[in-house]
Amino acid sequence: MEQEPHKSEIRKGPLLYNIFDSRNEGTATAVEEMFMQAGLYDDSPRTKEIVYIMIAQRAARGLGSLYAHANEMTMEEAGGIHSEYTPRGWMKTEKELLIFEQHLYLRQPGYGTSYITGKYLLENALAEFARMQESKNEPFIVKDFFDRLNSIGNIPISLGHWQMTGSDQHLKILKD
C-alpha cells in the first residue's frame, strides 16, 4: 500500500478492520495446494504431506473457533478439536502455539475459518473466471486470473469475484 497504492481512493489505504481475511489467508492456502497440484513439489513427497497437514490443521482450528464463537464450547474445548484433528499430533506438541492461536481466533470472529472458506471462495472465483474465458474462446491462464485479482486491490474475495466476472450468483446465497 505504501509502495504501490491502489488508484482508487477507497482501496488505497488500510481499512479499520481486516475484512479481507478470506482474501489473504484463503489465497495463501489455495496457492499452496495449487502449486502442489501443478507439480511444483513432485520431487518432495514430504512437502506434499505438509501441505495436506496444514489444510487439515486450518480446518480443525476453524471448526474449533466456530464452536467457541457460538458459545457451544469453551476455548479449551475448541483447542481440543484443533489438537485432536490435526494430523500427526502436531498441535499436541505445541501447547503454547495452540493457546496463542485459540486466543487470536477467539478475538477475531471469522479469522480462524477464513483460511478454508477463503480457499473455497478463491477456487470458485477462479473456476468462474476460467469458464468466462472459455465462453469467449480465450485461453485460461492462471497468471491472468491472479494479475486481475491483484489489480483490483485488497478487497474481500467475494467482491473480487463479482468485479472480475460480473456474476453475483455467489452473493445471492448470502442474501437467502
Please tell me the predicted confidence (pLDDT) of residue 73: 94
Encoded amino acid at 40, one letter: L
Q: What are the phi and psi torsion angles at 141 (to 5°)?
A: -125, 120
The answer to whether the CB of 30 falls within 8 A of the CB of 123 is: yes
Please tell me the predicted confidence (pLDDT) of residue 168: 85
The answer to whether the CB of 84 falls within 8 A of the CB of 63 is: no
Cell matching residue 107 = 478475538
How would you write the pLDDT of the chain (176 residues) with one tens digit per residue?
788 888 888 778 777 766 678 899 999 999 999 999 999 999 999 999 999 999 999 999 999 999 999 999 998 999 999 999 999 998 888 889 888 988 888 888 888 899 999 999 999 999 999 999 999 999 999 999 999 998 988 888 888 999 999 988 877 765 55
The answer to whether the CB of 130 falls within 8 A of the CB of 140 is: yes
Q: If 0-12 CB within 10 Å is exposed, 13-18 middle and 19+ buried, where does residue 28 land?
A: middle
Q: Which residues contact 164 (CB under 8 A, 6 or more apart)?
A: 125, 129, 145, 148, 149, 152
Q: Which 8-state DSSP code applies to residue 1?
A: -
Please tell me the predicted confidence (pLDDT) of residue 153: 83
- Please give the helix or strand (H or E) that residue 175 lies within, else none: helix 169-175
Please tell me the predicted confidence (pLDDT) of residue 175: 56
Please tell me the predicted confidence (pLDDT) of residue 135: 94
Please tell me the predicted confidence (pLDDT) of residue 11: 79
Q: Which residues contact 133 (CB under 8 A, 6 or more apart)?
A: 139, 140, 144
Give the residue among 28, 22, 31, 81 at the shortest CA–CA distance from 56. 81
What are the start-end ranges of the H helices in 85-141?
95-107, 111-135
User: How is the chain split into domains, by residue range?
Assistant: 21-175
Place of cell 479481507: 20
Q: Angle 95-107/45-69 helices, nearest 10 degrees? A: 50
